[in-house]
Structure 1
Amino acid sequence: MKMSDTIVAISTANGSGAISIVRMSGKNAIEIAQKVTKTTFIPRYAKLTKFYNLKNELIDIPLVIYFKNPNSFTGEDIVEFHCHGGVAVSKLVLETLIQAGARLAEPGEFSKRAFLNGKIDMAQAEAISKLIESKSKESVKILSKQLRGDLSHFVEDIRNKLLEIMAYVEVNIDYAEEDLPQDLIEQIKERLKNLSTLLEKSLKASKKRESMFNGYKVAIIGKPNVGKSSLLNNLLNYERAIVSNIAGTTRDTIEEEITIGTHIIRIVDTAGIRDNTKDEIEKIGIEKSKEAVREADIVIAMFDNSREFDEEDEAILNIIENTDKDVLVVLNKIDLESKFNNSKLNKFEIIKTSQKDENYEIEKKLESILDNYSHTEDNILISQRQVKAVEDAYNAINEAYELIETAELELFSYNIQEAILSISKITKPYEHDEMLDKMFSSFCVGK
């Protein structure tokens, strides 16, 4: 795989549609385009023209757009063929361009070239990949900000401030015979503290919203036959889970994806939690339920208004009292005679419902919590690679903060350098080419 090759790929999703786009990039792109169309092109002007194979047979009449380097996505000459939709047409166009001198692009190779040619940085490249896969409106907004360069500017600002601190200290290491002046030490400490706070905020905001891109996880818990499966079915608007009066009907976790407001959530109906079952399969289901709670972003805890508060309810109450997750407490079957002691749930706001209700209040409460998750001005990190880079920079800055008072300037300088290298990895990592190959190979072909 050489950067000097001219590459080509179908950029639109596979299948039938109104238009299919075949994208070609490289030094020979315009020459190949002119060969198969028998015409010339003006940069950034769309031209409707005939497309021929190498046997001079007409294949299609596409709209062709030429982007001259360096004013293109990859920084190279790019030609896009907007063909009539359909698998056969786009494949024939692709095959012809390969026969004319281009080669099939590797997954993510267009974006990799854009990165290597300085058109985008690594943070923007990751945003492109995530944006293509995005399922919710809120994640699109976050990713669009990163694609615009918001995270890149944040990283550059942190990096420049660390370089300023490094410059202060390096001068004193090289030339000063005495320790750093106390007022300079205080200035450096204040700057390090501010940088540490910025990174900590970004980490906390990102970890709280890491489920945004794949869907927030909501676990429904409660003792057997409390109405969990009925709630799931109502939220889905179809009978996904089996509902019966027999306790223990749901023996495994059931997970489905639904939209609440502008958010995608993965809602999990768990097996009823009880400790006295002798059924081995049900025991496994109960353990999976407890695991679902640990993995959830939000927990819906259900209680039965028609039955007295018992040990099984106590187990549920113990779970929600000892979790840091957002909790919705639902008292179900309020249309039946009340036997439940509401005072046990005094610590929580109770949503009262019945199996006949449409659960509008539950949906609005979920939407409110999810809106709160999404509304943030903090810079959100969208990958484990970015999170690791910020964590490493944060730890190095805190190490440096401890060392500045002890006048161990060489060690202090080392930690500042580590912080600079770590934070820089978000936008322009300086690792081996193999890391870049692995990173971009996760992209779709044609991007």
Structure 2
Amino acid sequence: MVQTIFSDTIVALSTPPGAGALAVVRLSGPAAVVITAAVFSKKSLTQAAGHTLHYGTLRDPDTGEIIDEVVVALYRAPRSFTREDVVEISCHGSDYVVRQVLALLLRHGARLAEAGEFTKRAFLNGAMDLAQAEAVADLIAADSALSHKVALNQLRGGFSQELRDLRARLVQFAALLELELDFGEEDVEFADRTGLARLLAEVRGVVLGLLRSFELGNVIKNGITAVIAGRPNAGKSTLLNALLREERAIVSAIPGTTRDFIEDEVSIDGLRFRFVDTAGLRDNPADEVEAIGVQRTRQRVKQAAMLLYLFDLSELAPAEVQAEMQELTAGLDLPVLAVGNKTDLALAETIRAFEQAFGAGQTPLVLLSAGQNQGLETLQAALVAQVRGSALENTASATIVTNVRHARALETAAAHLAAVQTGLDTGRGTELLAADLRHALAALGEITGEISSEDLLTSIFTQFCIGK
């Protein structure tokens, strides 16, 4: 049984603020049950077993006033989220009722929880490691099927277990190197250098693989940035509005209306896309402001995860479109969709010419009319297909790094592991090898919280909501 390390009892609203059918007020700490029992109609609550529900009323003992009819969920330590005694009071979701309930519990000995304090207690009481605790916040924030899968995998400890396995394998060699230092005068080697080199190659491969996954993880967590680019009046703003199903961008027949980029998000088939409408690309902008917009468009394309190159079917030939796309994406490893707009105005032979030109190419072609809302389903399917066919989808069930802090720790670990390898290759002394290995182990330990500081914990948990 894990012993809690806190003597006070905290309370907070765990459901979103604002009026609703129900609200949940949560208490955690050694006096959670006693405090609740003092204001609850059923005094037998202190004797009740954990994982039980109790219906009754909350009453102010000083005035006798009934605050609300509630259901109390009781969880006994250590079988609770925080591994402390936890009480969750489901009351009616009136702001006034919630304020009254919180005030009542505070008067009877609880204190208001700080941001993320419930999850922080769960971590400090050993219910989860730091990476899992951070996954709680990611799971709450998940707004797509893919981000949900990744967060759930981390919450269940998949990432943490992989890191623990890596550290366990390195710790054995680190211990042997430290032992050599104790017998430094006798010039003996306990750690097999050949075996250590093999292990380093393995571990570095895993660490670098996790680091590479961060690029995908960042896309999963923050959405797939799809930039809509093309010439002025190609229909970029119209397409953005059609995809978002709202009038987000100004649409005008005047070329160069969009001077800066406009972006918004939408979920398609469980994937979150962030669409960016940009200034039209042309060689001779009308003024300095439009020129800056064109420059920003090119910069935004470089930062994108995907490009939708939109063109007016009636204005350009297939060779011109291909040349413009090639010029815009030169030097970039970027998935591109060629999107021909205004099919309602294009001639049949023009459409056939584009279909033939792109039929054998690597760039998928989608034909639509954004203004008439025709072909949007085809575009959405093509967007999803681009993601489903990429490493992004293939790694959805694997370990993916989505947290910047984790990525930085992995970078530190990789650098020190590389230094150990260099030391082995150059015959560096045991003391230096051991020091680099210790630093690598520390960096890996920081991710799961096996090595942590109060400043680090404060930085992490203050980003949580109050009731979590």
Range of TM-score over shorter length = over 0.9
Range 2-11 or range 24-33, more displaced: 2-11
Q: Deviations over 1:304-334 (max 9, x none)?
A: 3322459898554312232112211223345
* Distance in 2 (alpha carbons) for counterparts of 1:431 and 1:120: 14
Range 380-389 or range 354-363, more displaced: 354-363
DSSP 3-state at the match of 2:192: helix
Deviation at 1:267, TM superposition (A): 0.3
2:365 corresponds in structure 1 to 351
What is the TM-score with the length of structure 2 in the denominator?
A: 0.88
Matched, 1:415 2:425: no
Q: Deviations over 1:231-284 (max 9, x none)?
A: 223322344333333321222211121111101111011111123114122122
2:412 corresponds in structure 1 to 392
* Distance in 2 (alpha carbons) for counterparts of 1:345 and 1:200: 38
> Residue 332 of structure 1 aligns to which amino acid in structure 2?
N
2:55 corresponds in structure 1 to 48
Write out aligned runs for 1:188-337 (5 A).
Answer: 188-308=196-316, 314-334=323-343, 335-337=345-347
Matched, 1:147 2:155: yes
Residue-pair matches, total: 445
Range 33-42 or range 303-312, more displaced: 303-312
Deviation at 1:173, TM superposition (A): 4.2
DSSP 3-state at the match of 2:64: coil
> Residue 368 of structure 2 aligns to which amino acid in structure 1?
S
What is the TM-score with the length of structure 1 in the denominator?
A: 0.92
Matched, 1:156 2:164: yes
Q: Deviations over 1:86-118 (max 9, x none)?
A: 222122111100011111111111111111111
Deviation at 1:347, TM superposition (A): 5.3
Range 360-369 or range 134-143, more displaced: 360-369
DSSP 3-state at the match of 1:213: helix
Alignment check: 8 A CA contact 1:107 1:443 kept: yes
Matched, 1:35 2:38: yes
Range 236-245 or range 64-73, more displaced: 236-245
Alignment check: 8 A CA contact 2:115 2:465 kept: yes
Distance 1:168 1:378, change over 3 A: farther
Range 346-355 or range 153-162, more displaced: 346-355
Alignment check: 8 A CA contact 2:139 2:151 kept: yes
Range 202-211 or range 233-242, more displaced: 233-242
Structure 1: runs of 5+ lacking an equivalent: none
2:380 corresponds in structure 1 to 363
Deviation at 1:429, TM superposition (A): 5.0
Alignment check: 8 A CA contact 1:110 1:446 kept: yes
2:21 corresponds in structure 1 to 18
For the aligned residue pairs, the C-alpha RMSD in angstroms reads 2.5
* Distance in 2 (alpha carbons) for counterparts of 1:166 and 1:45: 48
Alignment check: 8 A CA contact 1:60 1:83 kept: yes
Structure 2: runs of 5+ lacking an equivalent: none
2:193 corresponds in structure 1 to 185
* Distance in 1 (alpha carbons) for counterparts of 2:247 and 2:24: 40
> Residue 32 of structure 1 aligns to which amino acid in structure 2?
I
Alignment check: 8 A CA contact 1:23 1:78 kept: yes
Distance 1:317 1:344, change over 3 A: farther
Alignment check: 8 A CA contact 2:78 2:85 kept: yes
Matched, 1:442 2:463: yes
Deviation at 1:401, TM superposition (A): 1.1
Matched, 1:375 2:394: yes
Deviation at 1:178, TM superposition (A): 5.5
DSSP 3-state at the match of 2:24: strand
* Distance in 2 (alpha carbons) for counterparts of 1:318 and 1:124: 44
Alignment check: 8 A CA contact 1:68 1:77 kept: yes
* Distance in 1 (alpha carbons) for counterparts of 2:188 and 2:31: 61
* Distance in 2 (alpha carbons) for counterparts of 1:143 and 1:222: 36
